[in-house]
Structure 1
Amino acid sequence: MNLFERLYDEQENVKVQFIGFTTESARYDFGIVYTNMFFGKPLVICMQTGRSTLICAEEAENVDHVKKVFQIKCDDEASDLSLFFTKNLPTMTFDTQY
């Protein structure tokens, strides 16, 4: 009996960027995977906590979203991280997938 219906099974060579930086209050280490999957939206992985998300520059402007995804308690830290992502992630203009 087949329990799973495969939706996709793709392989690609991707660009991965590792970035470590500090702010006045925190240190961050991220891996950013640039892929053609998910409409080209990069996969951002926090190397310290393992939390990850698909996020683009426009979404990163939403400080509350960044705070929630990476479970940051301090508003200033979330704001710093949001600014970093806004400046370093690609912008995306696309229609909703679903």
Structure 2
Amino acid sequence: MGEKFFLYDDTVETQTRFVSFMGDNNRFDLAIVKSDRYYGKSLVLDIQGNRFAIIGSDDLDEPGYLEHAYQLNEEEAEELRSFLYQVV
């Protein structure tokens, strides 16, 4: 096995919020990671659904973004979107 070629290998300080809430249609168990990476956007991990996305407020305005990233229907995505507007 040859030597590994790293594109980057950084350690950064993060702020991580773990939150769980029940919407009308779905339960959300999230880890929201903020750091100086990703141009001010947050890494939002859906722990139960095993999915994640890098999200900023501009992404929340993008039609179909949350539906695609988290495999949600429109109602579920709207519940998640309304919460994320408050935290990203």
What does 1:1-98 align with in structure 2 at a 5 Å threshold? Answer: 1-2=2-3, 4-72=4-72, 74-89=73-88
Larger strand proportion of the pair? 2
1:41-87 per-residue CA deviation (whole Å, 9 max, x = no partner) reads: 21100010220111112211224100000011x21111121121122
**Aligned residue identity for 2:24:** E
RMSD over equivalenced CA pairs, Å: 1.5
Please list every run of 5 or more consecutive structure 2 residues that lacks an aligned counterpart in the other structure: none
Residues 40 and 56, structure 2, Cα contact 8 Å, conserved in 1: no
- Alpha-carbon separation, structure 2, partners of 1:7 and 1:69: 25
What TM-score results when the alignment is normalised by the length of structure 1? 0.78
SS at structure 1 position matched to 2:25: coil
- Alpha-carbon separation, structure 2, partners of 1:85 and 1:32: 10
- Alpha-carbon separation, structure 1, partners of 2:43 and 2:5: 24
- Alpha-carbon separation, structure 2, partners of 1:80 and 1:63: 14
What TM-score results when the alignment is normalised by the length of structure 2? 0.86
**Aligned residue identity for 2:58:** E
- Alpha-carbon separation, structure 2, partners of 1:62 and 1:84: 16
SS at structure 2 position matched to 1:77: helix
Residues 45 and 52, structure 1, Cα contact 8 Å, conserved in 2: yes
Identical amino acids, percent of aligned pairs: 24
